[in-house]
Structure 1
Amino acid sequence: MSHEFGENTPRWPGFEPLKKEIKLDFDHYPVKAYTYSFPGQYGTHVDVPAHADKTGRTLEKIQLKECVMPLCVIDCSQKVAENNDYSLK
């Protein structure tokens, strides 16, 4: 699962939230541009074993086939559109 990238992106509580600073605005230029600042470990991702164990495997030692598993998609989009607090029970 993943999430939109923005101020509400899930993150470890020890990290500061995304900082967004306007660099160019329509007042002076025909474009709007921002500088974004955030830690490299931001948002949803999978940590390799070496992330928390000095003897754990690093990414280059993990084969792609180990990361692919059977799955089942449960489409709840209509229920979530009607109730954004909807959850599977």
Structure 2
Amino acid sequence: MDQARRLRGSRPAGPPPRPSVEPVRVQRRASNSGVIMVCGQKVSLGRDHKHQTLTIGVSETTMAIELDDDEQTLVVRRTTTLPVRNIKADRPRQVSSQ
């Protein structure tokens, strides 16, 4: 403890950063069978939603999936505690014209 005080140019640490309270908004593209994966959790939406890009609001306990067709929101309980790593995943690939 005394050694840390004697360091040149040292200063006390500030408060730890707080996680944001509002949900993180992410985008996912549904697979052929209408399945998306967010934070390691697979959610099946059905084949009606295949290849759609969906916006999901991820909070600590729930995921709110905004379905584009009827402006509906599907709320799913989270089963994992993994953090969000990718904001935009599975973007449709651009095919170069040759």
* Alignment TM class, shorter chain as reference: under 0.3
TM-score, length of structure 1 as denominator length: 0.20
**Max Rg structure:** 2
Structure having the larger proportion of residues in helix: 1
Higher relative contact order (CA 8 A, sep 6+): 2
Give the structure-2-normalised TM-score: 0.19
